[in-house]
């Protein structure tokens, strides 16, 4: 069974849930659904969530980041790259390739950029894994 983790910002909760439900419907296992969390209000809660998310990235075969994403998601992407995970970077637009605002890490050979719709992302992930 293929496992996956989806990173993004709280503003993308619905998109994260959609990707997760589609992959789970195909028999994949989501390592951690952070969208069920409320925003952390204490340092203890931050630590607990961070621990769950770190373990979830480590347990995933496939790491998916939906843009826009915050600093936590980018840290998770760094962990996934360091662990040799299959990394997918999704954007609805080609803004990830704007030289003035892009990240160097978006262009590593280990990062598969998918620009388009969530359904295109899901199809590509399923095809390649």
For residue 67, what is the domain's CATH number?
3.40.50.450
Average pLDDT, rounded, for the chain: 96
Spell 27-64 as b/e; 16+ CB within 10 A means b. ebebbbbbeeeeeeeeeeeeeebeeebeebbeebebbb
At residue 1, the pLDDT reads: 87
Number of domains in the chain: 1
pLDDT tens string 49-90: 999 999 999 999 999 999 999 999 999 999 999 999 999 999
Please tell me the predicted confidence (pLDDT) of residue 85. Answer: 97
Give the domain range for residue 54.
Answer: 3-128
Q: Which pLDDT does position 39 carry in this prediction? A: 85
Task: Please tell me the predicted confidence (pLDDT) of residue 21.
Answer: 98
Of the candidates 50, 120, 62, the one whose C-alpha atom is nearest the C-alpha of residue 91 is 120
- Cα gap 80→32, rounded to integer Å: 14
């Amino acid at each position: 069974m293929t496992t996956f983790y989806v990173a993004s910002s709280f503003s993308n909760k619905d998109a994260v849930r959609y990707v997760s439900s589609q992959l789970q419907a195909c028999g994949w296992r989501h390592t951690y659904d952070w969208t069920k969390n409320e925003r952390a209000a204490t340092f203890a809660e931050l630590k607990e969530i961070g621990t769950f998310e770190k373990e979830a990235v480590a347990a995933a075969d496939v790491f998916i980041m939906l843009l826009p994403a915050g600093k936590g998601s980018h840290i998770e992407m760094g962990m996934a790259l360091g662990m040799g995970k299959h990394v997918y970077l999704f954007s609805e637009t080609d803004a990830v390739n704007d030289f003035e605002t892009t990240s160097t890490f978006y262009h590593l050979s280990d990062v598969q950029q998918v620009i388009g719709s969530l359904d295109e992302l899901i199809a590509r992930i399923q095809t390649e894994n």
